[in-house]
Structure formats: structure tokens, C-alpha cells
Structure 1
Amino acid sequence: MAILISFDIDGTLEVGDPPGGVTMDMVRQAQGLGCLIGSCSDRTVSEQRRIWRDHGIEVEFTVLKHRLKEVKERFPADEYYHVGDTEIDRRASLQAGFNFLPVEDAVVRLLNGLAPQ
């Protein structure tokens, strides 16, 4: 079963501004479990790519928040999640047909190897 996870950066990832609760090791863990990983942020695509590159993580996609729906069109998966920390993240994910996962819940799921809740 293919799972795609899109991460917001600021307030979500530990490298964001402000830092969030999702560590880069958690992202690596999800990737190691076979998840398709990428980011959807208000940061420019080049900034997003730099962050991933600087942390040695190869991602499938980097998009601006209003283009999240295009990710779903490009990458077939059984489940789609967007991890974020704001109401804007929640709205963007639902409009794109993704399940929204608040950062606090994502941390718990990632720590438990993405076990169903």
C-alpha cells in the first residue's frame, strides 16, 4: 500500500522557522518504510529543495501550498497525508483531497512507525 506524505516546513519540521516537532530522522524513517515524501510550503521551491538537500534527503516533490492538488495528480498512492500546523495547512490539504495530519498527531504516528490510529 503506497502512502504519500507532504510536509509543511515552518512550524512542522524541526528545521522550520519556527521549529516544529517532526525531526528529519522521522522523515527518514517514513521514507524507509516506503512512503513517498515531499514538501508543500509557502517557501519557494528552491528553498524547499535546499533544505532537503542540506539534510541528505531525496524527496519526490517540492511544491507551493496552492499546488498540492498537482502532487496527487502526479503520484498515485493509496493514502495521501499533509502534515502541518495551521488552519491554512488544513484547508489546503482538504481542498487537494489529502488527509490533514496535525503536526502533534504526525509525531506520534511517525514515532510508532506509521501504525494506524
Structure 2
Amino acid sequence: GRDIAGLVEMGAITRVPGTATRNARYAITLPRQSQDSDRAQALFQSTDTDGRLYPANPSIRYDGPIVAADGWYAIQRVASQTFVAHSVQALDDSPQVGAVVSIHHGHIIAPERQETRGMNKKRKPTP
């Protein structure tokens, strides 16, 4: 009961009207789209590509080409029909459309710089 009350207080769920206290049903409250996400969606639609657009999570590393960018968002293809919208203000550099990059915690890493990251182990040549 306390967990449900906490979720209701946070606004994550709402009680379905007309349900009784003992038999109460709850619905997940979906966040309202903000004007910013509308702006990212409009930029994505201007690319004429099929797929779904999701907001980027800064703690996840995304690899792929930048398909569109403006002063607010950079749209990156991360799978065949999956795209993420990065806030340009959260990035340390402006991404270039067409560039294949990795983006993680606001850092844009070009493929040629990816090889120099991490351990400097010599790899055995593949036969």
C-alpha cells in the first residue's frame, strides 16, 4: 500500500476512476511531450527515414551516423530503424551530419579516436 501511495504521490500512476478502495486499479501516467521533444520529432521527420525516435540517455554509449542536426538536437541512427535525439547543449562539440561517431556522457568520439581509447594492447593478426 505504501509503495502504491508513493507512486501516486510521484505522479507515476493514477487510480482509475470508478474503482473501489479494495479493488482499486491503477494506470501508468505517461509523461506529456514537451515542446523540446516536439522540436526533435520535427527534425527527425525532416529526414524522411522510417523508424522510431527516442531521447538519448547520457549514460549509455550510442554508436552510429548523425542523420540530422540543428541548433537544439542531433539525431543519431543506432540501429536499422532506431534513432536517438541528443541535446546539442549537452554535447561537448557540434556533431556533423553524416559523421559516424560514438556519443557517451556528452563526449563525441570519432572512429579514428576510438582505437586509441582503453588499453594499448597489441593484437595478434588474424589469419
- Structure that is richer in strand per residue: 2
TM-score of Structure 1 vs Structure 2, range by shorter chain: under 0.3
Task: With a CA cutoff of 8 Å and minimum separation of 6, indicate the structure with the bigger relative contact order.
Answer: 1
- Structure that is richer in helix per residue: 1
TM-score by structure 1 length?
0.24
